[in-house]
Structure 1
Amino acid sequence: MTDTLDVTPIYGWGWVLDEATSIPEVPAPFTILAASSGERIWEGVVTTPGHPFEGHQVLLSKRHVEWDGNVNVKVREVLSGRVLASGFALVAE
């Protein structure tokens, strides 16, 4: 089943770019078209026009045992699979 999810990045411990560079800025909210691959785990593609992550793959997984909308986020380059960014977000289902 495919879902459209609204993802709102939050600070948490900060966002990391290129698997090494921590950044103070939290990315702007974005939407993904995703398929669920388990309980509160989604893989999909960013569909928000003009967003820096547009067209890239995203993996979301729940952060806490009890579901509260908080997820871990990994953004990967489509062709290479290289992690472009990672951090935390809230998901509205």
Structure 2
Amino acid sequence: MNKNPKYYPDPDKFDPSRFEGNGPPPFTFTPFGGGPRMCPGNEFARQASLVFLHNLLIRFTWEKLIPKEKIIFVDAIAGPEQGLPINLQRRRHEPDMEAS
């Protein structure tokens, strides 16, 4: 179903924009299956994504490349007009998480 050209024109092309707005119709994107036999890797992938994001936030200083970038609304969702280009600098000293 994930590569059905009826729902995904040019299904082998990497095109994240196909998920913007309302996204694909329900139950047409099921990379981990569904129901009682859903792939247990679904939870692993979710956790791995959260760990990656956590490390990105903790270990790097973020700097917007367009400081006063205009915010636009697309289908009631706010987002930066230029896609939020950033510069990441690795921090010399990571925050001490034990002291928290």
> Quick check: TM above 0.5?
no
Larger relative contact order (C-alpha < 8 A, sep ≥ 6)?
Answer: 1
TM-score (norm: length of structure 2): 0.20
Q: Where is the helix percentage greater, Structure 1 or Structure 2?
A: 2
TM-score (norm: length of structure 1): 0.21
